[in-house]
Amino acid sequence: GKHQPFEYYCVLDFEATCQSERDPAYEHEIIEFPVVLYHAPTGKVKDSIQFYVKPKNKPKLTVFCKKLTGIKQSQVDNGISLEEALLQIHKWLMKHGLVHGEYDSHVMKGEKICSRRSDFKYSFAFATDGLWDIRNFLNPECQRKKIPRPKYYDQWVNVRYLFTDFHGKRGNINKMLEHYDLKFEGSPHSGLDDSKNIARILHRLILDGCKMDINDGISLKKDKMEGKHQPFE
């Protein structure tokens, strides 16, 4: 893990409001915001943080959502707002020395996006299983609710894509764990447990010699990207 592009990886796996019927227009709201802090040089998880978030538009969770995520209505009723969660995560990143300065100093003016890899100047990056967490959940919700979002969410390490590129096979969390003869630890669809398991996969990819660099983003320029996967517009 000594030669990785980042010293720290913040593994993230949101849970969001959902319903059983498929509806492309359904507006998801984040209800669990967990981050697991993985330190590449030592290969260890250094810390984790988790917030339950109170959804504003649809405060009542569907039975389907509660069954899927294991999140109780009382947990989101007592949750914090998404704005507050983002602020608390920023303070937590500050505490670990990963960001410096106030929240607003990391927000780009006029809803601009940090789209070039070379402009990403942090010693950590977020890491997710796929592109949905930031692209389909965090970004649209921030846009709809006019919540300023720090630019360190604009690019991320898509662990699923890196796994596919490195091993030549596709897989979800369970399939990737299976590849390493690992079993899922905890409850599937608990955001925090998902994040911890993604961190285990990230750790094994690093041991295999995979370069864990940013390979996904809200609007990354294609010419700045490496790898076969180019889901960007």
- Taking residue 26's Cβ as centre, other Cβ atoms within 10 Å add up to 12
Instruction: List the catalytic residue out of 39, 167, 189, 229.
Output: 189
Examine the residue annotation and report whether 100 is marked as an active-site residue of this protein.
Answer: no
Q: What is the DSSP letter of 195?
A: H
The string of DSSP codes covering 87-118 is HHHHHHHHHTTS--S-GGGGBPGGG-----GG
Of 15, 29, 32, 141, the active-site residue reads 15
What distance in Å separates the CA atoms of residue 224 and residue 120, rounded to the nearest whole number? 12
- Residues 82, 86: Cα–Cα separation, whole Å: 6
Under 8 Å between Cβ of 85 and 191: no
The span from the CA of 134 to the CA of 67, in Å, is 23
Q: How far apart are CA 78 and CA 88, in angstroms?
A: 16
Residue type, 149: R
- Amino acid identity of residue 110, one-letter, is G
| H helix or E strand, kind and range, residue 77 | helix 73-77
To the query of whether residue 15 is one of the catalytic residues in this protein, the response is yes
Active site amino acids: 15, 189
